[in-house]
Amino acid sequence: MKVLLSWLQEFAPVYGDPVEIGDQLSGLGLAVEEMTAVGGGLDGVVVARVVDLRPHPDADRIQLVDVDDGSGKPLQICCGAFNMSVGDLVPLATLGTTMLNGMEISRRKMRGEWSNGMLCAASEIGLGEDEDGIMLLEGAIDPGTALVEALELHPDVLYDLEVNPNRPDAMSVIGVARDLAAHQGVGFAVPAPSGADKGQDVASRMAVEVLDNDLCGRFVGRVVDGIQVGPSPRWLVNRLTALGMRPINNVVDASNYVMLELGQPNHTYDLAAVEGAALRVRRAFDGETIETLDGVVRTLTTADGVIADGTDTAIGIAGIMGGASTEVSNGTKSILLEMAWWDPMAIAASSRRLGLRSEASARFERGTDPEIAELAMCRFAELLADSGATLAPGIIDVRGHLPVRPPVRVRVERVNALLGTNLSRDEVSDLLGSIGFVSQLAFGDSPSADLEVTVPSFRPDSATEIDLVEEVARIHGYDRIVPTLPRSTITGALSPYQQDRRRVRDAMVGLGLDEVMPVPFLAPGDLERAGLPADGITVTNPLVAEESVMRASLRPGILKTLAYNASHRLQGLGLFEIGHVYRCPDNEQPLPDEREYLAVALGGRDAGDAVAVWSALADALDARRYELVADGPAGLHATRTARIEVVGSVVGYVGEVDPSALVAYGIAERVGWLEVDLETLLAIPHGRRSYKRVSRYPSSDIDLAFEVDEGTPAGLVGACLRKAAGDLLADLSLFDVFRGPPVSEGRRSLAFTLRFQADNRTLTDAEVAAVREICIDTVQSTLPATLRG
C-alpha cells in the first residue's frame, strides 16, 4: 500500500520529519519498504510548446525540436524521442536545471547541433512510469509556466508500506492515518462529504436481490446522475499517479480514489446498460461465461459469485472484476454505484481459481469494512460534483450474513502479564480507544472490572482477547516494553543422541573427511542408477522433475557430489554426510519412515580404508563389540562389502560402491563406502565401560599362523581364538596375511599375535603353553584351518 503524507494529513494533523514518520509507521507494523520525495526537484522545468520538428542532419536517432519556452524566440533542442507533434506542450528542463538523478542540464553540441535544454519523459521528472517518450501535457497552458504550477504539484512524501494480511484496514489512507494519529496522540477524523441528493429516487430505477447470503454480506447501491465523462482534475490525477494507478477518466478515477482513500472497492455500472433495471447476486453456473473489463472472456464455476442483470445474465464477477457490457462510456449519463461486502474466503478461492487478482479482490479477501458504504458513496459523488454529478435520493441496502462481532472481554492484568507492562485500566482503554476500539466496564465500575471492548467494523482480524493485547502493545509501542530475561528453569544440554552425533562428526573430521550437504531431492532414476530400488517417496508438486523424488539413501547425492567435483578435477576426495533419508513405511503409520544416516565416500580408496573409518568410528563411540559379515546389498560391491552388526542388529554396511553404479554416475575411481543408520547404532548401549585395572605383571606374546581357505573370514578365526584364549588374553591382532607357495591355491595364511597376561601373577611358561594348545585345538576343530609349522 502506497500513501502520500499530504493525503494522510487530510485526516489527522500528523507532524514531524518524513524519516521520523517513516520510522513511526514501521514501528506500528506498517513497514516502510521505500520512502520517496515526490513533486519536488522540478526547479527549472517549464512548459514549452513544440513549434518545429526537423531531422538532425547528421544523426538518425535524434531530431531537432524548436520549442517556445515563453520567450517568444524558438529554442533548438536535440531530442531522442519522436512521439511529439507541432503544437504539443512538453516539459522542458532549461539550462542550469539539476535533474532528479543529479545530472545538470547545460548547453552542448550533439553531433554538431546545439541543444539548449532537455525535453523530459515522465519518469525523468518523477511523474510516472510512462516510458513511451516525452511527456505530453494536456490543457491550455502558457509556455514558460513552471511545471509545478501547471501540474499543481506540491512537494510531498510517498511511503510504500508492507501491510500484513491481518490489517485490511491499513489497505486505505484513512487506516494508515488512524494508526499514525494514535501513535502521535493527535486527532483523527474522516470529514463528512458535502452535497445534496437530487432527482429520481433509486427505488424506482433499480431492484437488487441477493440470492447467496453467505457470499454477499451486504450490497449497497446508489444512483449518480449528471455524469459527464471527462478528465479528472489535476490534483486527483497526481495522487492516483503517485500511488501507482493510471488515470482513466473522472468516473473510474473517482472510483479508484475512494477505494484507496477509504478502503472500499466499488463498481460503477452504466445504469442504462443494465438490462431489466435489476441486479441479482448469486453463484455462477458451471460453464457460465462473462467478458470482463479487461476484454477477456472467462468461464466460471459455482466457486465464483456473479452479479447478474434483470435477464439473469452475468455482468460482473463478484468482488473481482466488472463486466464489459455495462462499462461506463463517454455517453454514460447515470451510473449505479455498487459497494458490497463479500465473504473473504469466497473471494480468495474465486480469485485463485480464476488466476485473477485485482486491487478490489486483494481488499475483499482480507475483509473490508461492511459499514463504510454510505460514507464512501457520498465521497464518490463529492469527487464528481464539480463535473455536475449528483446523488439521487434513496439507497439500496440488502444485507446477507455478516460476521457477528460480539464485544471482547479484556482483562487488564492479563494484558500486563503477557506484555510485561504495568498499564492501568484507563491506559489500556485509551490505547484501544485511539484506534477506534470502544471500551466499557464489564461489571459496574468495580476497580477490578474487566473491559468489554467493542471491535470496530474495520478490524475483522480482532475477535479475541489476545488480538486486543497485540493492539495495546502495538499502539503503546513495542520499543517501550522493557526487555527482561526469563530464568530458564531447566538445565540446558544436548541430548545423548545429539552429543553422540557430534562425536561422529568429530571423528569424521579428525579422519580428514569433509562434510557435504547435497539437497535431499533426487531426479527420477537417480536411485536406480545407484543400484538401489526405485522406492523413493515422490513430491506431488515438484518445481522441476530433477527435484521430484525424496532420497531413500544418501548414496545418489554423494555420488553426484563426487562426479561434480571430479568434473572440476578434484578426485580422491574423502566425504561424509549426516542427513535424513525417507522411505515408505511397512505399516500404515501416518508419516514416512525417516531416519538419520551417516554416509562416507572415499574416492580412490578401497574397502580396507572404509573399514578403517568404521573401526575409528566404533572406537570414538566406544561401540567396539561389532561383527563384519560379508554381504553384498544392492548398489555396493558384491565381493568387497560387509554388513555391520552390533549386538545382533544390522547398523550399516562397509566396503565399496558397486563398480557399475560408479560407471552410471561417471566416476572413474574406486570408491570406498560406509553407511550407518545412526539412529539404530546410537540406540544400542555403548560407551560407559567400567574400569579394568592395568596389570602390574609381565605379559607373554605368542604367534600362531593358520592356513585357511578363502571362504573362512579372518574375523571368524580371530573370534574363535578370542573365545578359546579366555580371560588370560590381553590383546589379539592379525599381523600378516600371506598367499602363495608354499600355501596352496585358494588358501591363505593368517598370522596372529596373542598377548597373555594375568592381573595377579606372572604367567609361567607352562601356563602359556597350555593356553596355546587350547587355542590351536579349538581353531582346528571348529574351522577348516590348520596350524602352520
Interacting residues with another protein between 323 and 362 (CB under 8 A): 344-345, 348-349, 352
Could you tell me which stretch among 375-383, 391-399, 414-422, 425-433 binds another protein (CB under 8 A)? Answer: 414-422
Site string for another protein, 722-761 (x = CB under 8 A): ----------------------------------------
Please identify, using beta-carbon distances, which residue of 504 and 708 lies nearer to another protein.
504
What residues numbered 370-409 form the site for another protein, per CB under 8 A?
A: none
What residues numbered 284-313 form the site for another protein, per CB under 8 A?
A: none
Interface with another protein (CB under 8 A), residue from 9, 10, 18, 27: 27
Could you tell me which stretch among 218-226, 234-242, 285-293, 413-421 binds another protein (CB under 8 A)? Answer: 413-421
Q: Shortest Cβ distance from residue 777 to another protein (Å)?
A: 46
What residues numbered 31-90 form the site for another protein, per CB under 8 A?
A: 31
Give the distance from CA 76 to its chain's centroid. 53
Grid cell at residue 552: 531413500
What residues numbered 582-601 form the site for another protein, per CB under 8 A?
A: 582, 584, 590-592, 594
Contact 292, 321 (CB under 8 A): yes
Please identify, using beta-carbon distances, which residue of 446 and 540 lies nearer to another protein.
540
Q: Shortest Cβ distance from residue 349 to another protein (Å)?
A: 7
Q: Which SS3 state, helix, strand or coil, does residue 351 take?
A: helix
Please identify, using beta-carbon distances, which residue of 51 and 303 lies nearer to another protein.
303
The residues near 430 (Cβ < 8 Å, ≥ 6 apart) are none
Please identify, using beta-carbon distances, which residue of 446 and 567 lies nearer to another protein.
567
Please identify, using beta-carbon distances, which residue of 364 and 380 lies nearer to another protein.
364
Q: Shortest Cβ distance from residue 662 to another protein (Å)?
A: 18
Q: Shortest Cβ distance from residue 494 to another protein (Å)?
A: 6
Could you tell me which stretch among 28-36, 381-389, 681-689, 751-759 binds another protein (CB under 8 A)? Answer: 28-36
Please identify, using beta-carbon distances, which residue of 287 and 483 lies nearer to another protein.
483
Interface with another protein (CB under 8 A), residue from 342, 458, 576, 626: 576
668 binding another protein? (CB under 8 A): no
What residues numbered 478-537 form the site for another protein, per CB under 8 A?
A: 478-479, 481-495, 498, 502, 505, 508-521, 537
Could you tell me which stretch among 375-383, 526-534, 570-578, 620-628 binds another protein (CB under 8 A)? Answer: 570-578
Please identify, using beta-carbon distances, which residue of 385 and 616 lies nearer to another protein.
616
Interface with another protein (CB under 8 A), residue from 573, 611, 636, 654: 573
Nearest by Cα to 66 from 79, 53, 48, 56: 53
Q: How far apart are the first and last CA of the chain?
A: 94
What residues numbered 679-718 form the site for another protein, per CB under 8 A?
A: none
463: how many CB neighbours lie within 10 A of its CB? Answer: 15
As a whole number of Å, the CA-based R_g of the chain is: 42
Please identify, using beta-carbon distances, which residue of 233 and 585 lies nearer to another protein.
585
Q: Which SS3 state, helix, strand or coil, does residue 507 take?
A: helix
Interface with another protein (CB under 8 A), residue from 550, 646, 676, 763: 550
- What burial letters (b/e) apply to 266-297, b meaning 16+ CB within 10 Å? bbbbbbebbeeeebbbbbbeeebebebbeeee
Q: What is the 3-state secondary structure (H, E, C) of 620-671?
A: HHCCCCEEEEECCCCCECCCCCEEEEECCEEEEEEEEECHHHHHHCCCCCCE
Interface with another protein (CB under 8 A), residue from 85, 541, 639, 690: 541
Q: Shortest Cβ distance from residue 544 to another protein (Å)?
A: 8
Residue 390 pairs in a beta bridge with 225
Contact 316, 306 (CB under 8 A): yes
Please identify, using beta-carbon distances, which residue of 594 and 703 lies nearer to another protein.
594
DSSP state of 80: S
Q: Shortest Cβ distance from residue 577 to another protein (Å)?
A: 9
Q: Shortest Cβ distance from residue 421 to another protein (Å)?
A: 8
| Separation of alpha carbons 341 and 220, rounded Å | 9
211 binding another protein? (CB under 8 A): no
What residues numbered 459-488 form the site for another protein, per CB under 8 A?
A: 464, 466-467, 469-470, 473-474, 478-479, 481-488
Grid cell at residue 688: 560407559
Please identify, using beta-carbon distances, which residue of 131 and 594 lies nearer to another protein.
594
DSSP state of 134: B
Contact 8, 182 (CB under 8 A): no
The residues near 457 (Cβ < 8 Å, ≥ 6 apart) are 369, 370, 371, 372, 405
Interface with another protein (CB under 8 A), residue from 404, 543, 694, 766: 543
The residues near 207 (Cβ < 8 Å, ≥ 6 apart) are 277, 278, 279, 310, 396
Interface with another protein (CB under 8 A), residue from 165, 648, 741, 746: 165
Please identify, using beta-carbon distances, which residue of 570 and 774 lies nearer to another protein.
570
Q: Which SS3 state, helix, strand or coil, does residue 499 take?
A: helix
| Separation of alpha carbons 468 and 457, rounded Å | 14
Grid cell 503409520 is found at: 589
Please state whether the peptide bond connecting residue 742 to the residue before it is cis, i.e. omega within 30 degrees of 0.
yes
Please identify, using beta-carbon distances, which residue of 307 and 682 lies nearer to another protein.
682
542 binding another protein? (CB under 8 A): yes
Please identify, using beta-carbon distances, which residue of 585 and 711 lies nearer to another protein.
585
State the number of binding residues for another protein (CB under 8 A).
86
Q: Shortest Cβ distance from residue 29 to another protein (Å)?
A: 3
Q: Shortest Cβ distance from residue 587 to another protein (Å)?
A: 12
Q: Shortest Cβ distance from residue 668 to another protein (Å)?
A: 17
Interface with another protein (CB under 8 A), residue from 405, 409, 580, 788: 580
Please identify, using beta-carbon distances, which residue of 573 and 644 lies nearer to another protein.
573
Q: Shortest Cβ distance from residue 617 to another protein (Å)?
A: 13
- Beta strand 45-55 pairing with 89-93: antiparallel
What residues numbered 82-141 form the site for another protein, per CB under 8 A?
A: none
Please list the alpha-helical segments (H only) found in 213-340: 234-242, 250-262
Please identify, using beta-carbon distances, which residue of 510 and 533 lies nearer to another protein.
510
Q: Shortest Cβ distance from residue 575 to another protein (Å)?
A: 8
Please identify, using beta-carbon distances, which residue of 570 and 737 lies nearer to another protein.
570
Please identify, using beta-carbon distances, which residue of 101 and 484 lies nearer to another protein.
484
Nearest by Cα to 344 from 322, 327, 371, 367: 367
| Separation of alpha carbons 690 and 33, rounded Å | 63
Grid cell 514501528 is found at: 27
Long-range contacts of 355-360 (CB under 8 A, 24+ apart): 356/292, 356/298, 356/317, 356/320, 356/321, 358/320, 358/321, 359/245, 359/256, 359/259, 359/265, 360/259, 360/265, 360/267, 360/319, 360/320, 360/321
Instruction: Kindly list the distances between the CA atom of residue 609 and the CA atoms of 83, 107, 482, 690, 750, in Å, as whole numbers in the listed order.
Output: 76, 78, 59, 30, 20
Phi-psi region of 788 (alpha: psi -120 to 50; beta: other; left: phi over 0): beta
Interface with another protein (CB under 8 A), residue from 101, 330, 446, 540: 540
> Of all helices (H) and strands (E), which one includes residue 556?
helix 555-566
Q: Shortest Cβ distance from residue 495 to another protein (Å)?
A: 7
| Separation of alpha carbons 361 and 557, rounded Å | 44
Contact 671, 601 (CB under 8 A): yes
Please identify, using beta-carbon distances, which residue of 238 and 462 lies nearer to another protein.
462
| Separation of alpha carbons 553 and 577, rounded Å | 11
